[in-house]
Amino acid sequence: MDQIKPRKNPSREACEATIKRILMTEVLEHGSNKTFRFASDFMNYFESLYPPSPGLTKQVQRAVKAMDMPKDEHGYFIVNKTNDQVGQDKEIKRIFSSAHVSVNTMEKAEPLFLHVDENAKDYLFHLLLESETFKGKFLTLFPVSGGIMIYTETRNQLVMLLNSLTI
Is the pTM higher than 0.85? Answer: no
Report pLDDT for 3.
Answer: 55
In terms of domains, do 76 and 115 share one? no
Q: What's the length of the chain?
A: 167
Residue 104 lies in a domain: no
Number of structural domains in the chain: 2
Buried (b) or exposed (e) across 14-23, using 16+ Cβ within 10 A? ebbebbbebb
Give residue 100's Cα distance to chain centre.
18
Domain final position from 33, 68, 83? 83
Distance of alpha carbon 27 from alpha carbon 87, whole angstroms = 20
Report pLDDT for 1.
Answer: 47
Residue 91 lies in a domain: no
* 2-31 pLDDT, tens digit each: 555 556 889 999 999 999 999 999 999 999
Alpha-carbon torsion, ordered 33, 36, 39, 45, to 10 deg: -100
Domain final position from 48, 83, 118? 83
Which domain does 60 fall in, by range?
12-83
First to last CA, the chain: 102
Q: What is the residue-level pLDDT of the chain in tens, covering all 167 positions?
A: 455 555 688 999 999 999 999 999 999 999 999 999 999 999 999 999 999 999 999 999 999 999 999 999 899 999 889 999 999 999 999 999 999 998 888 899 999 999 999 999 999 999 999 999 999 999 999 999 999 999 999 999 999 999 999 86
Report pLDDT for 6.
Answer: 57
Distance of alpha carbon 78 from alpha carbon 97, whole angstroms = 22
In terms of domains, do 19 and 77 share one? yes
